[in-house]
Structure 1
Amino acid sequence: MFETLTAFTESLPTWLQWLGVALIGAIPFVESYLGSAIGVFVGVPPAAAIAAAVAGNIVSTLAVIFGVHSIRRRVVAGREPERPSPRRERIRRLFDRYGVAGVSLIGPTVLAGQITSGMMISFGASRRLVVIWQIVAIIAWGLLFGVLATIGVDLVSGR
């Protein structure tokens, strides 16, 4: 998959490669961290690669957050809460333990940010907090991997 995404970005005209990086950043499980790295590997300037991957990831994550929030609001309106499954209870305990900030920052090591966001909203987390912490996490992960990719490219190329 990494090769395919890299080939896709390389196939674009140089002046449009940042858009390819933004599209890659919007893909769950690729997100800002791999999107920024792919951008750097392809030759997009690091700042542009990181910004594009972060922007793509933020747009797709916000779409999920607002969509799930809207659906949840309609589903729970006037409805009796049902007994959650053991698996959902376990996830809820983890959410209660680490909170929105912890799940947002650590979540990308386990699940896509879009999935994590949707789960937190489904648990009744504040949409505002989920948006804030997901944006913080997306920026942090994108910067980390973009900087690491830049260092790696510099080491390999002998700069």
Structure 2
Amino acid sequence: MTTTLLLVEIEPLLEEASGLLQYVLVFVFAAIPVVEILVVVPVAIGLGLDPIATGVVAFAGNVGSVYALVAFHQRFSRWWRGRRGGPDTTESAGERYARARSLWDRYGLAGLSVGGPILTGVHIAALVALLAGSPTRAVAGWMTVGIGLWTVVLVTVSVFGFSLLGIV
């Protein structure tokens, strides 16, 4: 039985559902920040759902919720800058800040997007990148790459592991 901090029992819900509803639940669970693909993909594959369909649906749910977070942050930032009415302090910080920003955008965002799904969860990683001032398109793109990579790894490891154990 898989329980998360939200007290959502994934396994019984997926097991009780049937057909298309199982994949809808995989999509929804993958979009929930605490559950994400790290929990839902192995559970769904362990219950006998098609690995390719599970991976595609979980990827779509996780990426969709990250895109929603990016869009919300973009709108909130625009509103906040309009409310403050002054110049952005990060733009006037100087050459040293520009160099640090360039290094973060080149290496930090990529590393965070690949490591984030396993270390902090993709939603927190995306929020950290956005709060660090990374461009929203870059955050969305790199998070998509990270989620895609981890989805492939999770599906592959789950299929191999369950077949090795004789479960699926």
TM range (shorter): 0.7 to 0.9
Q: Establish whether residue 128 from structure 1 lines up as the match of residue 137 from structure 2.
A: yes
- 1:74 and 2:83 aligned: no
Paired residue total: 149
CA distance 1:39–1:66, shift in 2 (3 Å): same
- Alpha-carbon displacement from aligned partner over 1:36-55 (angstroms, at most 9, x marks no partner): 21210111110011111111
Residues 33 and 53 of structure 1 are in contact (CA less than 8 Å); yes or no, is this contact kept in structure 2?
Answer: no
| Aligned-partner SS, 1:43 | coil
CA RMSD of superposed structures (Å): 2.4
Matched, 1:98 2:107: yes
Cα separation, 1, equivalents of 2:38 and 2:155: 7
Q: Distance in 2 between matches of 1:137 and 1:32?
A: 11
Change (3 A) 1:104 1:158: closer
C-alpha contact (below 8 Å) 1:33/1:144 kept by paired residues: no
> Bigger CA drift: 28-37 or 129-138?
28-37
CA offset at residue 158 of structure 1? 7.1
Matched-pair contact (CA < 8 Å) for 1:21–1:38: no
How far apart in 1 are the matches of 2:11 and 2:40? 9
Q: Which amino acid aligns with 1:143?
A: V
CA distance in structure 2 between the aligned counterparts of 1:152 and 1:122, rounded to whole angstroms? 37
**Residues 37 and 149 of structure 1 are in contact (CA less than 8 Å); yes or no, is this contact kept in structure 2?**
yes
- Cα offset for 1:98? 3.4
Shift of 1:29: 3.3
Partners of 1:49 and 1:115 in 2: CA distance: 23
Equivalent residue number for residue 114 of structure 1: 123
How far apart, CA to CA, are the structure 2 residues paired with 1:109 and 1:16? 27
Question: What amino acid sits opposite 1:65 in the alignment?
Answer: V
Q: Return the TM-score normalized by structure 2.
A: 0.78
Runs of 4+ in structure 1 displaced over 6 angstroms?
Answer: none
Structure number, greater radius of gyration: 2
Match for 1:150 among 134, 159, 165? 159
Decide which moves more: 115-124 or 144-153: 115-124
Distance in 2 between residues matched to 1:36 and 1:46, nearest whole Å: 8
Q: For residues 143 and 39 of structure 2, what CA distance do their matches in structure 1 show?
A: 16
Please give the TM-score of this superposition, normalised by the length of structure 1.
0.82
For residue 29 of structure 2, what is the amino acid of its counterpart?
I
- 2:33 is paired with a residue whose SS is coil
Unaligned runs of 5+ in 2: 4-8, 91-99
Q: Residue in 2 aligned with 1:28?
A: 33
